[in-house]
A = this chain, B = another copy of it.
Amino acid sequence: MPRKTGSHGQITGPRIRQAALRLFARHGYAAVSMRQIAREVGVQAGALYTYTPDKQALLADLLRSHMAHLLETWAAEQRPDAPLDRLEHFTRFHIAYHLDRPDEVFLSYMELRNLTAENFAEIEGLRRAYEKELEAILHDGRAAGAFAIADTRLAAMALIAMLTGVSTWFREGGRLGRDEIADLYWQMVRGAAGCAAGLDAAAQGSEALPPGPPRPAAALLR
């Protein structure tokens, strides 16, 4: 069983996945060819098939491992007990995780439709599991009287959509830093959850950034 140390297999495999992730996220699954991916890796197109059975499996693997890693990372977090703290924890975790992985996030939201039915069902299941994590927080918090939420399922979908949206406009080095953004989103999430402390804290927030003088709203983000 020769050829172990000098073997490129341990290197080329990840490089292919990395190149595919970048290109799929930038141009879309259907618009990227296997030859483009191979060129990015510095290899001929045929070599890709040592590492993936086909293009579809390459996409499915990327989405599956992104969702699995998200769930694992979330599961490994230390969780607070109080309803409000749990919600804040989820909010800040979600934003930080998504800001760190713009390509993965983009891919996971855009390319679900390019999965075969079987792969779609699997990835969709992982996404549901993540949504259920937030829904459980909302549900428990409501039962404890901490949140005023009429429908926890819809609220979970709405909040995740709001939070994930950050990665569509965030640019490194833009007007707002990561911590600032997390603070601002948390303020809105708290309010949307109808939590009792929301108003006071929001008032504090708008003191920190005074509401009176209309700051120039044009030269904004990106």
Contacts and interface: CB of A to CB of B under 8 A. Distances in A.
A56 interface: no
A80 to B, nearest CB: 21
How often does this chain occur in the complex, in copies? 2
Interface of A: 26-31, 110, 113-114, 132, 135, 139, 142-143, 145, 148-155, 157-162, 164-166, 168-169, 176, 181, 183-185, 187-189, 191-194, 196, 198-199, 202-203, 205-206, 208-209, 211-212, 214, 217, 220-221
Contact of A211 (B132, B142, B169, B184): B142
A187 B209 CA distance: 25
Contacts of A176: 151, 154
A1 B109 CA distance: 51
B168 A161 contact: yes
A194 B205 CA distance: 10
Contact of A209 (B150, B166, B181, B211): B150
15 contacts: A27-B113, A28-B29, A28-B30, A132-B217, A142-B206, A142-B211, A148-B206, A150-B208, A153-B220, A154-B185, A154-B221, A157-B169, A165-B165, A194-B202, A194-B203
Contacts of A212: 143
A151 B221 contact: no
Contacts of A189: 192
A209 B151 contact: yes
A30 to B, nearest CB: 4
A67 to B, nearest CB: 16
A176 B158 CA distance: 14
